[in-house]
């Protein structure tokens, strides 16, 4: 008799249309700290949401810049979760999508193409004054654009900012097409990301893989473990 991990892996492998909803826990094995754990980037900060907010960007740009720089981990490499998702995407008999909360670029590094970066990415930046794209390497040297002196920002969705209609529609479509939806490495409490689960089809199988329990307003199978434990079986 298969255990829960083996059952989850078998369900994923048997599916033709799979959508992964990934969070910060997917990248911890790559050396990127998550946001909410005791060792996460928010630990010890009184108002971390403010430091990653539109208000902080405008009102205290130096404080915003110092915080955001610590979120960059360009040396990080994809782990088995990123790699197995990307591999599944290449198999002709499958239609695999990933909708990710992560802004670390590791799904792209692993080769995923059917990917919705729901919260944007740190690795695309632009100047707020002239609108020109700026490399992330330049941004890490200074948050001021050498060409015009304007403030540079990464293209991530900050607290207090809205989502584009295009991103919302892509994410909803990715979830709606799936026969199996796999929620990985997230407590699934951040809106509107967690609201995507409402767009699953009536007969869609939903699996949550996380080290701590997950709550959802729909029926799902919970596998409480590190995501690598299951993805190594794929």
- Give me the phi and psi of 199, to 5 degrees please: -100, 10
Active site residue 119: yes
Q: Residue 181, CB half-sphere, CA atoms under 13 Å: how many?
A: 27
54/161 Cα distance (integer angstroms):
6
Among 43, 119, 126, 191, the one annotated catalytic: 119
Number of residues assigned to the chain: 234
| Locus of tokens 């007969």 | 203
Count, in order, helices (H) and strands (E) of the chain: 9, 9
Residue 46: Cβ-neighbour burial (10 angstroms; 0-12, 13-18, 19+): exposed
Is the CB of residue 227 less than 8 Å from the CB of residue 212? no
Active site members: 119
């Amino acid at each position: 008799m298969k255990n829960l991990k083996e059952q989850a892996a078998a369900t994923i492998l048997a599916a033709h249309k799979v959508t992964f909803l990934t969070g910060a826990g997917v990248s911890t094995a790559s050396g990127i700290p998550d946001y909410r754990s005791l060792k996460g980037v928010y630990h010890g900060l009184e108002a971390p949401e403010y430091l990653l907010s539109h208000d902080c960007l405008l009102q205290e740009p130096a404080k915003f810049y110092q915080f955001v720089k610590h979120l960059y981990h360009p040396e990080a490499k994809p782990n088995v979760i990123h790699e197995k998702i990307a591999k599944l995407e290449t198999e002709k008999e499958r239609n695999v999508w990933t909708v990710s909360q992560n802004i670390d670029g590791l799904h792209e590094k692993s080769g995923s193409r059917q990917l919705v970066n729901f919260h944007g990415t740190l690795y695309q930046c632009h100047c707020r004054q002239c609108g020109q794209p700026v490399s992330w390497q330049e941004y890490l040297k200074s948050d001021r654009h050498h060409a015009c002196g304007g403030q540079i920002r990464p293209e991530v969705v900050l607290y207090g900012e809205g989502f584009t209609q295009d991103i919302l529609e892509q994410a909803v479509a990715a979830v709606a097409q799936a026969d199996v939806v796999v929620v990985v490495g997230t407590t699934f409490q951040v809106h509107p990301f967690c609201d995507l689960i409402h767009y699953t089809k009536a007969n869609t199988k939903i699996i949550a893989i996380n080290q701590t329990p997950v709550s959802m307003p729909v029926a799902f199978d919970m596998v409480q473990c590190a995501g690598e434990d299951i993805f190594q079986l794929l």
